Structure 1
Amino acid sequence: MDSGYLNFKLVKPGLLQSLVYLEETGSTNEYASANKLASDTLVITSIQTNGKGRFGRKWESSPGKNIAMTLVKNFIISIDEIHNVSFYSSLILLKTLQKLCKGYSADFSLKWPNDVLLNSKKIAGFLLGTKDMSNKEKRIAIGVGVNVNEQNFGEEIRYTATSLFNETRNEFALEDIVISYVTELYSELTLIIDCNSLMSQWKSNCAHIGKQVKFRLLVDSEEKSAFVKDILPDGSLKLVSDDGSERCYFSGEISLGIRN
């Protein structure tokens, strides 16, 4: 990872306040949480040894092959709007990757609550950390993991995860993706408080609205089946069970799968 180039393209023009490059770290999110960082600071690493996704799941990444980073930023939003940052971050990554992969056979989509899929397999995920929730400005750490040039996936995720390289047979410069993504992220920030437009765009790229899905309740791990009816403004997923009953779930309540 060329940190000097990232500084030149993101910090020098004033887009970011600072960039912290770590050759190796356990987790960029954990680093951001443990250190007092200014708003608009990007923490990025070439080797992440203990990356985590939702529910503490390990995010495996070969050294120097993928993007593992955390953006620390203050947002003037209410507590009820925090989930918009998650939806916004994943939507912008989808748009960024679509532009970078134009010309390839690459079908990008979104999976609730904040995964990016490529050809129906997971290519990226987000994990948000929060601080100073009582303040007018909410400090949010946006953790991002993107499988870019990864070729080796463990047995458990071999058929559900992929990378840009595996789908296009082309190697991508990590720095170019980071620069494009951060630039795009800062260019449409007003979408975070324009919930109607944000959710409309997100849902139009969603892989499972109007489809039957499998899901597990985290309280009992029982696998169930339901029809995805909608994603509501509060970020919850509205499901219709086989018996016709409707219920809304938040991201911390269920784990979602997509039925092929």
Structure 2
Amino acid sequence: MRNKILEALYANKGNYVSGEILKEKLGISRTAVWKHIKILQDQGYNIQTAPRKGYVLFEADDKLLSKEIESLLWGHTMGRELIVFDSIDSTNTYGKNNADHLMDGTIILSEEQLAGRGRRGKDWSSPKGTGIWMSMVLKPDIPPTEGVKTTQIAAAAVCKAIRDLTGLDALIKWPNDIVVNGRKVCGILTEMAGQLNKIDYIVVGIGINVNNTEFPEGISAVATSLQIEYGKKIDRKELIVRIIKNFEALYHSYIENLNLTEVVAIVRDYSAVIGKEIKVIHGTSERIVTVHDIDEEGFLIVESGDGKREVIFSGEVSIRGKNGYI
């Protein structure tokens, strides 16, 4: 019932809707309408009341509210099912545990994560109300070997959204990090389940430091936030919507013909590693190579000191800058 009230208020955002109209539209008493409005206000929706006028919905401050985001994604396939938590252990974990009954394109968001994870099981700091902690559940009809490429689709979508919204020189640290001024603002974790010839689901997790102003000891030297770099707070909802729209366009283009050309062009243009010496870490071994290019499949082409070139696959290794994070 509260969703129906929100729909009516969103359809008239900024204008009053009388209690009588809501009563007739929903088939409930005006007292019941008032009780539902009170609950919505307690949940963070900025609904104002006025005698003889009714109720009016104004834009919420920075709280992630599902109906507001859904209204900005109207007509898009990604986010037709949108789930927003106030707090959760991990949006990726929720996506994996519930993938069987979640539709393709479901978006999961949370104001905070209590057990956020990055690649190789590393903890990801996800404080409340500051960042974007988001997972996308995908069920594409593509070979399982192609599923890993959704990481770079997400990286391209996030990088482009940050650049377009803020003007910051965001770059992609292959394959799954976004950096600004040499420090990490975003990490991407892709997890997949399937059979020999079929993908059951892919969950693409995206963690972005948006309005963080401080970081835990141990990551403060390599992490930053968009607010720190931009100098003022960022509208998280607008960034979320830009990312989802970017991802949808790139993802659908890819799965229709398994052609990564558009994505690779973005990853190359905004690469933080092409032309640089990097440290390739595989288990306990490390070696220094120079990044030559990113090939049409999104893999890294590197050159060793003796001039020999090889292709590096994202699942095999981690990379760092020769003398630091990047």
**By the TM > 0.5 criterion, same fold?**
yes
Structure 1 residue corresponding to 2:134, chosen from 64, 69, 76 = 69
Aligned counterpart, 1:121: 183
Any idea what SS the aligned residue of 1:154 has? coil
Aligned counterpart, 2:115: 50
2:266 corresponds to 1:181: no
Amino acid at match of 2:241: I
C-alpha distance after superposition, 1:211-236 (max 9, x if no partner)? 11123222x2x332111122233443
Counterpart-to-counterpart distance in 2, 1:58 and 1:211:
28
Structure with the higher fraction of residues in helix conformation:
2
Task: Determine if contact 1:215/1:223 at 8 Å carries over to the other structure.
Answer: yes
Runs of 4+ in 1 over 4 A off after TM superposition: 133-138
Give runs of aligned pairs for residues 233-252 of structure 1, distance below 5 A: 233-252=296-315
Q: For the pair shown, which has the larger CA radius of gyration, 1 or 2?
A: 2
Aligned residues: 254
Aligned counterpart, 2:161: 96
2:224 corresponds to 1:162: yes
Structure with the higher fraction of residues in strand conformation:
1
Structure 2 residue corresponding to 1:29, chosen from 92, 112, 128 = 92
Task: Determine if contact 1:228/1:239 at 8 Å carries over to the other structure.
Answer: yes
CA RMSD of aligned residues (A): 2.0
**In the TM superposition, what is the alpha-carbon distance from 1:135 to its structure 2 partner?**
6.1
Cα 1:33–1:225 change in 2 (3 A) is same
Higher RCO (C-alpha under 8 Å, 6+ residues apart): 1
Amino acid at match of 2:170: F
**In the TM superposition, what is the alpha-carbon distance from 1:128 to its structure 2 partner?**
1.0
Could you tell me the TM-score, scaled by structure 2's length? 0.72
Aligned counterpart, 2:201: 139
Cα 1:138–1:233 change in 2 (3 A) is farther
2:68 corresponds to 1:5: yes
Task: Determine if contact 2:192/2:199 at 8 Å carries over to the other structure.
Answer: no
**In the TM superposition, what is the alpha-carbon distance from 1:133 to its structure 2 partner?**
4.5
Unaligned runs of 5+ in 1: none
Counterpart-to-counterpart distance in 1, 2:322 and 2:213:
25
Counterpart-to-counterpart distance in 2, 1:5 and 1:235:
35
Could you tell me the TM-score, scaled by structure 1's length? 0.89
Identify which range, 175-184 or 49-58, moves more after superposition.
175-184
Counterpart-to-counterpart distance in 1, 2:144 and 2:170:
30
Counterpart-to-counterpart distance in 1, 2:195 and 2:295:
23
Any idea what SS the aligned residue of 2:217 has? coil
Task: Determine if contact 1:76/1:138 at 8 Å carries over to the other structure.
Answer: no
Unaligned runs of 5+ in 2: 1-63
Task: Determine if contact 1:61/1:150 at 8 Å carries over to the other structure.
Answer: no
Any idea what SS the aligned residue of 1:60 has? coil
Any idea what SS the aligned residue of 1:55 has? helix
